[in-house]
Chains A and B, each alone.
Chain A
Amino acid sequence: MKLWLRCFLAFFAGLTPLMGQHRPLLYDFTEIPQSLLLNPGAAHESQWYAGVPLLSGVSLRAGSSGITVQDLFADDGLDINDKIRERAINGLQPGDEVSATLQMELLSGGFRGKRRPDDFYSFGVYTEVDAINYWPRDLAILAWEGNADQLGRRFNLGHLKTRGEMLNVFHFGINRKVSERLILGVRAKIFSGIFQFQSTRNRGYFVTTQGENNLLANTLSSQMGLQSSGLEGLRRELSADGADQGAVLQDFLVRRGFFGGDLGFGADLGFTYTLKPRLVLTGSLLDLGFMVHASDVRNFTLEGTATSEGVEIILPDSLADPDADFWQDLVDEIEALVPFEEDAKTYVALRPTKLYASLRYNLGGTPPPKGPCDCDYRTSRPLKEQPYSSAFGAQLFMVNRPRGPQAALTAFYQKRFGNALAIKASYTADKFSLTNIGLGFNLQAGPLELYVLADNLLAYRNLANAHTASLQFGLNILSWGRN
């Protein structure tokens, strides 16, 4: 089987490490310092923390909204071509997607200001891989069935929408307790782009109609483009004679991941506001920023409109030139009308902005005072007391995607068991699943903290049949000032 088809099917079937953006369990799980990455204004209260390098925050998530690996590759005796036709070609819609996000912290830490103990500073570096591919329905039908006997059917080229990137993010955040009721946070980010590609603004169609002269006319009207950065350099280096592919890849990731590639800037904003003594509202806006892709850029466009009725010989004019090359003239004419062009122009890509919000009701513990308090965080709440013993609430998540915003709603329940353990259970409804039940643990043994969060637990019965699954874990050393 040809390589491109293997790659396509692998990507489509979810065999590559596919992940997504939403992390409902980690959001507002304030015992975990990494929750500050989802809300720089989270009510995190440790004195300091240091993430174990490479292990402090690993997040993997896979999502396929319309089809699962099991749908195609189950050992059920059915012809795979029938399964592809019924479940993919005729079953998937242009809004169905396969999306992926991997996030891995390389370095992470945070500390509370000595002079301003209401401020908590956090910083770090993490690698992020994010990709999304919408099902290109009409193009898939065209490739699978062809255009024969489809007179008048317009195959929509706009169904092709894909985007992916890999980058390192260097960040520094400030979390400030402005009052007993309000915590604000902001995080500045510098993006070091490793590679990026996007083809998201495609329009046009391919149609076969009855010809004016000939039996048929084939028309292509295209406004398509693909932008990429980083990949061309990698391809060039990998294909060099005698290249050690492992070393080349390692050098590529390190060089471009540490400011040898593209550069971008962004910010996260967030807050926690205590509406009533036990009722807490939170919100955050992440990755408000952009990347300037200026290195190893390779862009392609296919723009124009052409109609062909084949080689046309209309006497006597067509034979006036004895050297006429009808075939080449036809090819040249089409290429002139719909030129396939390539350039290396710098382009700017916006980061996929995310929004989180939650409303939480705390039970048990000692609620914060109703009025203003002129004491700092160390005296506003006795150290042995907990802000809550359990809590429940709802969260909203939205992310900006090539086909518009995607949303997810989560209901959650949190419980603390002393200082050693906190758990969070969640139910999430989104386009991938309506039966997504997640569970997370945060365990603390002395200064060592371990957290494990897993979504869509029901899918663990058979991961091949899951539309989405995720796992996050991390290891930190931290001080709450009481251990």
Chain B
Amino acid sequence: MKKLGLLTGVFLLCCLSSCVEQQNFEQYDEVAVTPLLEAALLYLETPESEINRQTSPSFVSTTFDFEAFSEQFVAEGILEGSLIYQLENTTSKPLQITLEFLDASGQVLDTETFLMDPAPTAILNREVVYGPAGKPLEILTNTTALRVSGTNLGDQTSVSGEPEPRFVLRSTAKFRISLT
């Protein structure tokens, strides 16, 4: 019976002495899930032949819906971000590209202008920051459409000696979103 008493004592001791160290569940409210997301944004390509074919200097002017930033989950959670552009001009003429950010009423919220020298030109890289260290985030969150305009600042007859001469705009968006 001594053994029984000992075993019973151990069991009861284990059960009765069970405890939970103090936990701080208030830390829940400090959890910050803020992934940095990256996605392709816009790709524009115009061969030189198309630029030369136009009767006016404007070789492209189009407005289209773009609701990536105004999607609820982005618009409500975006903390900061940047748009990264890469432009390449292998045509024989200088070009001006304008990218306008439009809100739902068609009002221009922001404009990004790029001037490209004729070939041979280096690739132009530009990063535009939005958020506390850059332009207002509202530009992005209120943008529902983009207007892309391209103007030929040179002639309409010359042809570049580069293989497959063309103008290309590449872009990505990188932004931090709060999921909490």
Contacts and interface: CB of A to CB of B under 8 A. Distances in A.
A444 to B, nearest CB: 14
Contacts of B124: none
A73 B66 contact: no
A441 B30 CA distance: 44
* Band of interface residues on B: 35 or more
- Interface core residue of A146, A324, A327 (most chain B CB under 10 Å): A146
A365 interface: no
Interface stretch (A76-84, A234-242, A253-261, A279-287): A76-84
A380 B37 CA distance: 75
B129 interface: no
Interface stretch (B111-119, B131-139, B166-174): B166-174
A464 B20 contact: yes
Interface string B35-64: 111111111111100100100000110101
A75 B27 CA distance: 9
A462 interface: yes
B18 interface: yes
A404 B79 CA distance: 41
Interface in B1-31: 1, 4, 7-8, 10-11, 14-15, 17-25, 27-31
B180 A5 contact: yes
Given A145-B35, A218-B40, A462-B19, A315 B27 contact: no
A73 B25 contact: yes
A81 to B, nearest CB: 6
Given A1-B180, A144-B33, A463-B19, A417 B28 contact: no
Interface string A450-461: 000010010011
A79 B24 contact: no
Interface in A408-442: 417, 421, 423, 425, 439, 441
Contacts of A143: 33, 35, 179
A215 B83 CA distance: 12
Given A143-B35, A215-B86, A310 B42 contact: yes
A213 B22 contact: no
Contacts, number: 176
B148 interface: yes
A84 B179 CA distance: 15
Interface string A1-21: 110011001000000000000
Interface in A123-164: 142-149
A417 B7 CA distance: 12
A80 B39 contact: no
A79 B29 CA distance: 12
A338 to B, nearest CB: 15
B42 A313 contact: yes
B104 interface: no
A208 B38 CA distance: 8
B179 A5 contact: yes
A55 interface: no
A70 B22 CA distance: 9
Contacts of A79: 30
A196 B149 CA distance: 55
A37 B43 CA distance: 65
B21 A6 contact: no
Given A84-B31, A144-B33, A316-B50, A211 B21 contact: no
Say what secondary structure dominates the interface of chain A. mixed
A215 B171 contact: yes
A93 interface: no
- Interface core residue of A1, A211, A218, A465 (most chain B CB under 10 Å): A1
A314 interface: yes
B65 A327 contact: yes
Contact of B28 (A6, A312, A421): A6
Nearest to B167: A315
Contact of A148 (B21, B32, B37, B179): B37
Interface in B156-180: 168, 170-172, 174, 176-177, 179-180
Contact of B14 (A146, A313, A439): A439
A80 B21 contact: no
A325 interface: yes
B37 A1 contact: no
Nearest to A311: B42
Nearest to A312: B43
Given A74-B24, A461-B19, A462-B21, A327 B64 contact: yes
Given A74-B24, A326-B64, A439-B7, A216 B39 contact: yes
A69 interface: yes
A75 B23 contact: yes
B43 A214 contact: yes
A79 B24 CA distance: 12
* The 7 A-B residue pairs with the shortest CB-CB distance in the complex, in nearest-first order: A146-B35, A460-B18, A310-B40, A148-B38, A75-B24, A148-B36, A80-B27
Given A144-B35, A147-B38, A214-B171, 4 more contacts: A5-B180, A149-B38, A216-B40, A463-B19
16 contacts: A74-B24, A143-B33, A146-B35, A146-B36, A211-B43, A214-B41, A218-B40, A308-B39, A311-B41, A313-B62, A314-B45, A315-B47, A327-B66, A457-B11, A463-B20, A464-B20
